[in-house]
Structure 1
Amino acid sequence: MQPIYSIQVLRALAAFMVAIHHVQPDAAALAERAGLSFTRSDLLPWMAGVDIFFVVSGFIMVHASQDLLGRAGASRLFLKRRLARIVPLYWAMTTLFLLVGLAVPALLNSGVPSLTQILGSYLFWPTVSTQGFVQPVYSLGWTLNYEMLFYVLFAAGLALPLRWTLPVVAIVLAVLVAAESLAGPLQLPFGFWGQPIVLEFAAGMGIAILRRKGLRLRGAVRVPVAAAGVAVLIAAAHVPGADGPWSSVLWRGGAAVLLMLAAACGREGIVTPKPVKVLATVGDASYALYLVHPFVIRGMREVALRIGLHAPALYIPLALAGAVLAALLVYRFFEKPATRLARRWLGS
């Protein structure tokens, strides 16, 4: 299937936003060690990169599965493809995190995980951490617990008659959220699965349906839609209470929907500029960037401490550039080969 370069650029942006969020505490720690001042940037709600990822994921599941809709054995094939895509790298990063925790516990920001939490992490099952949060051992994996829920629901929907697949998936997500909102807090895992953020998957599916039905935005409309998405993101960083469960979906999720509309519903047949293709390459490695960047950021902080590089203005761009470079290498030499191997092993 022909790649949509603008969506890959959006994925790169989303992963980079999360990296910016995580690099700032380390930059603050360096500045404090040297007695320097540091003011974090709150220009955007940087963790809104996750909201963008979820809307993109909802879109991609429909767009990339058009050959599976209504096909015999679609559920099993879809789930095998998704497992081959996300499991190898996530399990590798989780294992690396555990090994680092055993070797140098001081580098981690969490206590010693329980066996239940470790097993839940590898199985994408919501469990409570030693700090009292519902998150896996490698905390970034909380988003993948939601992704796995969506994959399972989507796979189940593929077993239904074609006209019911997408409506049923959206309805189940809505029921989970309604149950948690009206009758909650529910016990795990339903209390975790019922958070409003899962509605962003349904929003992404809706955009995929609009594109499939022929929605295309001309430049005169597409640019203002994208600009509106950016404006909503900026506003979300400064509106009090915009980070609550429902308000974040309205603000951050709404911005993600606007950005996704602009990215996914552009006119076809237009020559893609080379800079866009370069950014799309980072988008290809966005999953690796999301999972790898904390290791690079923390590792470069330790290096910076040892060489006396305490200036945040130098550390931040170096750490972010290092994270992107590491992600590209991991994508090229581990993620792609591991995915191919997993697909071959699973027969997908």
Structure 2
Amino acid sequence: MSSAIEASVDKLDSVQFLRAIAATAVVVQHVPLFRNGAWGVDIFFVISGFIMALVTAKSKRHFFTKRVIRVVPLYWLGTFGVFGVALLLPSLLDNTTADLTGLIKSLLFIPYQKGEYVQPLLFLGWTLNFEMFFYVLFALSMAISHRHRLLICSLVLIVLVLLGQWMKFDSVILDFYSSEILAEFAFGMGCYTLYARTAGWRASGPTIGVRVVLVLISVTCIASMPFNETFATTLGRSIYWGIPATLCFLAMVHGLAGLRLPWGMVLLGDASYSLYLFHPYVMKVFNKVFHVFDTSGLLAYLIAALAIGLCYLVAISIYRLVELPMTRRLRVIFLDRHRVGKLPPELPVERSELRGE
């Protein structure tokens, strides 16, 4: 069995599990009691590089259309929602205003300065600016050579990162798109290259002992990441968070290869995009209603757990009621117009695009 076919039949529940961990880390980052989980973004970027390589292993058909359908509608929906709140109920937001220019730049994934940070109206959308940029580069790389798409795209990303290290750009856009975090997409593509070459090993079934060791390595990498920011003064983000995220990913997808994980883990991974985009606003409303995040002691931890649980519940609801039906409908309209009302037949791994990437 070829590596491409093997890749297609592996259900990769482990990737959904890692998405759930990454999204939860970002949620924890926005809980005042903790403020340590920004590293979840780095896991997301490694996953993204891997998935883009995986889903194009056999075909580049409709690549960019699928990416737009997967990412843009929910993000635009959230962006218009935040703009509406800023326009009608500005007291509910801290630093966001109903700025029409900012709205247009946010919708078009154009980075711009908003106060102290470079971020769009839906403030966590800054990562989507990187994602869309990566998709454009990946699509161009495939247009040049499908066979060498990973090498071409990785080289471009590394060159941009090096330019960002060597030069200081006055332009917000040039400075943003030469950030070293771009290297993590290349790390993810490197993960796919190794993953494709271990198809035979995975098909033969790793022993329980090997699986346990690999999962422990992955867990150790995750456990180290909250402390790795102490190296920020000497190492770049792609090193102190990107490398552990890469090792964590490789160990987990090989340690859990071919295994079905509990449905709750997979469901939370499925809903990770909704969780990522909307959890700050759930927490904001939660705190404005109950005024709880200033509580101290044991009660603070209990309230933090309740807030995180509420974010999970809202995210799963948005995923089930909005994100998934909307994505399916748009795929039918734009990818399979002759089978209106039916989800196009796809390989199992392509269905994972609906679930999480």
- Give yes or no for contact 1:176–1:193 (8 Å, CA) kept in 2: yes
- Give yes or no for contact 2:215–2:255 (8 Å, CA) kept in 1: no
1:53 to 38, 44, 47: 44
- Give yes or no for contact 2:181–2:238 (8 Å, CA) kept in 1: yes
Pairing 1:211-250 to 2, within 5 Å after superposition: 211-214=195-198, 216=201, 218=206, 219-238=208-227, 241-243=230-232, 246-250=235-239
| Deviates most, 335-344 or 3-12 | 335-344
The 3-state SS of whatever aligns with 1:67 is coil
Displacement of 1:116: 2.5
- Give yes or no for contact 2:106–2:120 (8 Å, CA) kept in 1: yes
Extract unaligned runs of 5+ from structure 2.
1-7, 337-357
- Give yes or no for contact 1:180–1:186 (8 Å, CA) kept in 2: no
- Give yes or no for contact 2:83–2:103 (8 Å, CA) kept in 1: no
Equivalent AA in structure 2 for residue 184 of structure 1: K
Q: Is 1:255 aligned with 2:244?
A: yes
- Give yes or no for contact 2:222–2:244 (8 Å, CA) kept in 1: yes
Question: What is the number of equivalent residue pairs in this alignment?
Answer: 320
Assess, with a 3 A threshold, how the Cα gap between structure 1 residues 264 and 315 changes in structure 2: closer, same or farther.
same
The 3-state SS of whatever aligns with 1:184 is coil
Cα distance in 1 for partners of 2:257, 2:121 equals 43
Pairing 1:1-348 to 2, within 5 Å after superposition: 1-2=8-9, 3-24=11-32, 40-41=33-34, 45-69=36-60, 74=61, 77-112=62-97, 114-129=99-114, 131-214=115-198, 216=201, 218=206, 219-238=208-227, 241-243=230-232, 246-266=235-255, 268-270=257-259, 272-273=260-261, 276-305=262-291, 311-347=299-335
Assess, with a 3 A threshold, how the Cα gap between structure 1 residues 171 and 269 changes in structure 2: closer, same or farther.
closer
When normalised by structure 2's length, the TM-score is 0.82
- Give yes or no for contact 1:127–1:135 (8 Å, CA) kept in 2: yes
- Give yes or no for contact 2:96–2:121 (8 Å, CA) kept in 1: no
Residue-by-residue CA offset, 1:128-154 (whole Å, 9 max, x unaligned): 11x132111111000000000111111
- Give yes or no for contact 1:233–1:251 (8 Å, CA) kept in 2: no
Assess, with a 3 A threshold, how the Cα gap between structure 1 residues 68 and 335 changes in structure 2: closer, same or farther.
same
| Deviates most, 203-212 or 237-246 | 237-246
Displacement of 1:229: 4.3
Cα RMSD, aligned residues only: 2.5
Assess, with a 3 A threshold, how the Cα gap between structure 1 residues 207 and 239 changes in structure 2: closer, same or farther.
closer
Assess, with a 3 A threshold, how the Cα gap between structure 1 residues 269 and 185 changes in structure 2: closer, same or farther.
closer
Cα distance in 1 for partners of 2:268, 2:58 equals 26
- Give yes or no for contact 1:228–1:255 (8 Å, CA) kept in 2: no
Displacement of 1:112: 2.0
Cα distance in 1 for partners of 2:258, 2:163 equals 45
**In the alignment, what sits opposite 1:37?**
none
Percent same amino acid among aligned pairs?
A: 35
Cα distance in 1 for partners of 2:254, 2:181 equals 23
Equivalent AA in structure 2 for residue 90 of structure 1: Y
Cα distance in 2 for partners of 1:185, 1:223 equals 46
Displacement of 1:268: 4.7
The 3-state SS of whatever aligns with 1:189 is helix
Assess, with a 3 A threshold, how the Cα gap between structure 1 residues 159 and 187 changes in structure 2: closer, same or farther.
same
Displacement of 1:257: 0.7
Cα distance in 2 for partners of 1:256, 1:87 equals 25
- Give yes or no for contact 1:22–1:294 (8 Å, CA) kept in 2: yes
Displacement of 1:102: 2.2
Assess, with a 3 A threshold, how the Cα gap between structure 1 residues 191 and 269 changes in structure 2: closer, same or farther.
closer
- Give yes or no for contact 1:241–1:247 (8 Å, CA) kept in 2: no
Assess, with a 3 A threshold, how the Cα gap between structure 1 residues 134 and 199 changes in structure 2: closer, same or farther.
same
Cα distance in 1 for partners of 2:318, 2:150 equals 34
Cα distance in 1 for partners of 2:29, 2:216 equals 22
